[in-house]
Amino acid sequence: MTTQRVAIIGLGLIGGSVGLATQAMLPQIAVTGWDADPDVRRRAAERGLVTTVCDTAEDAVRDAELVILCVPVGAMEGAARAIAHALPQNAVVSDVGSSKRSVAEGLARALPGVTIIPAHPVAGTEKSGPDAGFSELFRHRWCIVTPPEGAPPEALQRVSDFWEGLGAKVEVMEAGHHDLVLAVTSHIPHLIAYTIVGTASDLEDVTRGEVIKYSAGGFRDFTRIAASDPTMWRDVFLSNRDAVLEVLGRFTEDLTALQRAIRNGDGDTLFDLFERTRAIRRSIIEEGQDDARPDFGRSDH
Amino acid sequence: MTTQRVAIIGLGLIGGSVGLATQAMLPQIAVTGWDADPDVRRRAAERGLVTTVCDTAEDAVRDAELVILCVPVGAMEGAARAIAHALPQNAVVSDVGSSKRSVAEGLARALPGVTIIPAHPVAGTEKSGPDAGFSELFRHRWCIVTPPEGAPPEALQRVSDFWEGLGAKVEVMEAGHHDLVLAVTSHIPHLIAYTIVGTASDLEDVTRGEVIKYSAGGFRDFTRIAASDPTMWRDVFLSNRDAVLEVLGRFTEDLTALQRAIRNGDGDTLFDLFERTRAIRRSIIEEGQDDARPDFGRSDH
């Protein structure tokens, strides 16, 4: 089942990268695209993010075999409604949202009878917008596909083949489990990073200039992910509320235990945890999920 | 006041880097060194971390004009006691500890009558031990010097000149203020990173393999600093307890407010914070305190 026409709705970091990657790695596919923002459409055309930038969402999807919604998760249902009447009979609709259960529900409401195969490429940078995308973003990264029960195997195959064609490694997972895994590996880290960056900038006794000046001590690692797109992340937390609150509860318990250890001068509890966390880092390096150079090579070691 | 003989006690990441940087950038200085661990002394001699690796701490400091203690902050007072009787009359004693008030108190207790000028180079990587050091570690990084009240200006000058000679930018600060600034910019970020990495590895419903596999979503940024030296960090939290608990209290309040916003579906509160934290990231890039490439260049963008 070869895909020849793909439509991308939303041309920011992810949508733009999907468009560039498709043109670079699957040149037999014609990619149409559309974005709600006319400035983004103009810029997308200038950069050639897709083969054809259309004037309406309907025009973009009219001939598509595969439609990929690349908008913030809170905008998915609306984006799906906007294309509902223009979708060809056998089109498969997918997305790239960071939470999957609520997106799947929204898409099913907006597109009754349509084959929907939600997906989530676990890749990104802290940049956003039509200038941020690049064709290599998904290479060697995971793409988690969460087909609903009873989804046609050939539709799942179409989506999986497409992402593998862009260089990604595909994993199939149940949507609810995806949401819990991502709460741990992505959503809570972002929430914590946003929080500590906010806390630091609100202190009375330490100036913002001092925070910035001495950020190399650890703080700067948090600021990178706390610079991610605000709309996207607001939507992620609201749409994956249950899993986020559950993991956040665990984190808060663990932090309270460390707080007590510090207050009581209990060095053994601290040391034991700090030893254990090193092992996780080693595994991440071994699995090729991060750069092994100290400091990510920032010190030009 | 030219320094010609420097002694380094402790030859791990920081001590080893001080030794290598001195030989590379201040070749007129003779550097002696010692470490409590015989294996580290052997490796230090093999790598040439200092000009002369001595067999005892006393031998290392016997002719020194400047002694730099590069041991975990909990070991500072003991290291100072070990050299007390061998210190030359006019030697200045300094250190590299990440907390300054408790270290200054410990050194004053151990070395009555000795001129002590504590310092803290804000530089490091997640690696530790005698193989981790490199001569460029301090270049363009800040070194905060916290002289006690009434410290002789020429001793402060000696320490400042030395660090500037290694490429660092020197800032003079009151010890208590240093401890608060570093609690924000370094200690709390490390504590949070250790906590979330621990939380993630203890969940029943998400396997450790899944956490590692999907860590590119944000989690991996935390694992880098959670791989830092356990002994060093245990000592930092215990020795800077008051400032750490104060900043941690603020962080917890802020996190609770976000938790409530997520529970209540209050997207505006989330969005406003996420917008604000972007500005901090921009400032850190502008001040040259981090790498501006998206993803630190990990995606080879």
**pLDDT of A301:** 41
Q: How far apart are CA A93 and CA A80, in angstroms?
A: 9
Q: How far apart are CA B105 and CA B146, in angstroms?
A: 12
- Please report, to the nearest 10 degrees, the dihedral formed by the alpha carbons of residues A43, A44, A46, A50 taken in order: 180
Query: From the centroid of its chain, how far is CA B19?
Result: 16
Selection from A193-207, B209-223, B286-300 with the highest mean pLDDT: A193-207
Strands B5-9 and B66-69: parallel
Tell me the shortest Cα–Cα distance from A88 to chain B, in angstroms: 34
pLDDT over threshold 90, residue B180: yes
Q: Is B112 helix (H, G, I), strand (E, B) or coil?
A: coil
Question: What topology is assigned to A177-297 in CATH?
Answer: 6-phosphogluconate dehydrogenase C-terminal fold (1.10.3660)
> Using an 8 Å Cβ cutoff, are A111 and A151 in contact?
no
Q: Tell me whether residues A226 and B274 touch, CB distance under 8 A.
A: yes
Q: Round to the nearest angstrom and report the end-to-end CA distance of chain B.
A: 48
> Using an 8 Å Cβ cutoff, are A74 and A235 in contact?
yes
Q: How far apart are CA B14 and CA B18, in angstroms?
A: 6
Q: How far apart are CA B232 and CA B74, in angstroms?
A: 8
pLDDT over threshold 90, residue A280: no
Residues ≥6 apart with Cβ < 8 Å to B183: B240, B243, B244, B246, B247
Name the nearest CA neighbour of B163 among B10, B11, B13, B14: B14
Mean pLDDT of A100-121: 97
**What architecture does CATH give domain A5-174?**
3-Layer(aba) Sandwich (3.40)
Q: Which long-range contacts link A23-28 to residues 24+ away (Cβ below 8 Å)? A: A23/A48, A23/A50, A23/A51, A23/A135, A24/A135, A25/A135, A25/A165, A25/A166, A25/A167, A26/A162, A26/A165, A26/A166, A28/A2, A28/A4
Name the nearest CA neighbour of A225 among A160, A118, A130, A128: A128
Contact status of A284 with chain B (Cβ, < 8 Å): yes
**pLDDT of A2:** 84
pLDDT over threshold 80, residue B1: no
pLDDT in tens, B67-82: 999 999 999 999 999 9
Question: DSSP class of residue A141?
Answer: -
Q: Which residues of A touch B263 (CB under 8 A)?
A: 241, 245
Question: Nearest-CA residue of chain B relative to A245?
Answer: B259
Q: Tell me whether residues B192 and A192 touch, CB distance under 8 A.
A: yes
Tell me the shortest Cα–Cα distance from A86 to chain B, in angstroms: 31
Contact status of A255 with chain B (Cβ, < 8 Å): yes
Q: How far apart are CA A210 and CA A231, in angstroms?
A: 29
Tell me the shortest Cα–Cα distance from B280 to chain A, in angstroms: 7
ipTM of the complex: 0.90
Domain range list for chain B: 5-173, 177-297
Query: From the centroid of its chain, how far is CA B81?
Result: 22
Residue type, B208: R
Name the nearest CA neighbour of A273 among B99, B3, B133, B199: B199
Name the nearest CA neighbour of B30 among B61, B59, B7: B7
pTM of the model: 0.89
pLDDT over threshold 70, residue B286: yes
**pLDDT of A300:** 46
Cα angle A95-A96-A98, degrees, rounded to a multiple of 5 = 125
Name the nearest CA neighbour of A1 among A61, A67, A62, A90: A90
pLDDT over threshold 80, residue B86: yes
pLDDT in tens, A222-266: 888 888 899 999 999 999 999 999 999 999 999 999 999 999 999
**pLDDT of B187:** 96
Q: Which residues of B touch A205 (CB under 8 A)?
A: 177, 180
**pLDDT of B292:** 74
Kindly tell me the number of DSSP H helices and DSSP E strands found in chain B. Answer: 13, 9
**pLDDT of A115:** 98
pLDDT in tens, B235-268: 999 999 999 999 999 999 999 999 999 999 999 9
- Please report, to the nearest 10 degrees, the dihedral formed by the alpha carbons of residues A229, A231, A233, A237 taken in order: 170
Q: Tell me whether residues A211 and B185 touch, CB distance under 8 A.
A: yes
Q: Tell me whether residues A290 and B248 touch, CB distance under 8 A.
A: no
Name the residue among A202, A277, A300 with its Cβ closest to that of B227: A277
Residue B301's pLDDT band, with cuts at 50, 70 and 90, is: very low
Residue with tokens 């240093």: B178
> Using an 8 Å Cβ cutoff, are A9 and A84 in contact?
no
Residue A81's pLDDT band, with cuts at 50, 70 and 90, is: very high
Q: Tell me whether residues B189 and A196 touch, CB distance under 8 A.
A: yes
Name the residue among B185, B274, B280 with its Cβ closest to that of A217: B185
Both structure tokens of A187:
């959503």
Contact status of A204 with chain B (Cβ, < 8 Å): no
Residue B26's pLDDT band, with cuts at 50, 70 and 90, is: very high
**pLDDT of B298:** 63
Tell me the shortest Cα–Cα distance from B77 to chain A, in angstroms: 17
Domain B5-173 sits in CATH 3.40.50.720: yes
Percent of chain A with pLDDT over 90: 82
Determine which of A26-35, A117-126, A252-261 has the lowest per-residue pLDDT on average.
A117-126
Give phi and psi for B60, each to the nearest 5: -65, -35
Residue A1's pLDDT band, with cuts at 50, 70 and 90, is: low
**pLDDT of A84:** 97
